[in-house]
Amino acid sequence: MVLLNPVLVQPIGIVRNSLGRRSFNEWEETESEIVVSEEYKEALFRLDEFSHVEVLFYLHEMDKDFRNKIHPTGNPVYPLMGAFATRTPNRPSRIALTTCRLLNIESTVLRVKGLDAYDGSPVIDIKPYTGKAIENIRIPDWLKNLKNKR
């Protein structure tokens, strides 16, 4: 067994939106604000030249009952999978990564669309999405079917 030391991470900002547990299925169309700490204002310089950003954030309201194996989307019609083989928000580190559309930046506030974070989620980092395409990706059939239903 490998014992790892805890890692201390300082948030750079916070998410503001109308998402709560009851409205979470609406995240793809929800606009959010990422309020960045004033000390990082200069770090946002020219980020507005990108159409999308990758947001790393802490899942502060997720349950701590991590399970190693789950059914994707909690639906038993899908095969049992290891948690790391899914996009479940129930993760041992409670850290999430989402690519979302950058609508605009005003001072230290980024307005984005499609961020699947609850209101009040601490933001750990922001990176520009560069559109790097990955060739020859492989995804399981159940996920292809799920994507086709959307």
Does residue 19 fall inside a structural domain?
A: yes
Does residue 3 fall inside a structural domain?
A: no
Distance CA 75, CA 85 (A): 15
Does residue 6 fall inside a structural domain?
A: no
Residue-wise pLDDT tens digits, 65-106: 778 888 887 888 888 988 888 877 777 788 999 999 999 999
Kindly report the number of other CB atoms within 10 A of residue 119's CB atom. 15
Asked if residue 134 has pLDDT above 90, the reply is no
Average pLDDT over residues 100-117: 96
Residue-wise pLDDT tens digits, 119-133: 999 999 999 999 888
Does residue 4 fall inside a structural domain?
A: no
Q: Which helix (H) or strand (E) holds 142?
A: helix 141-149
Does residue 116 fall inside a structural domain?
A: yes
| Residue bearing the bigger pLDDT, 112 or 26 | 112
Does residue 26 fall inside a structural domain?
A: yes
Does residue 119 fall inside a structural domain?
A: yes
Domain of residue 117, residue span: 13-149
Domain CATH number, residue 137: 2.40.30.70
Cβ 44 vs Cβ 109: under 8 Å: no
Q: Total domain count for the chain? A: 1
Does residue 108 fall inside a structural domain?
A: yes
The closest of 100, 106, 101 to 36, measured between CA atoms, is: 106
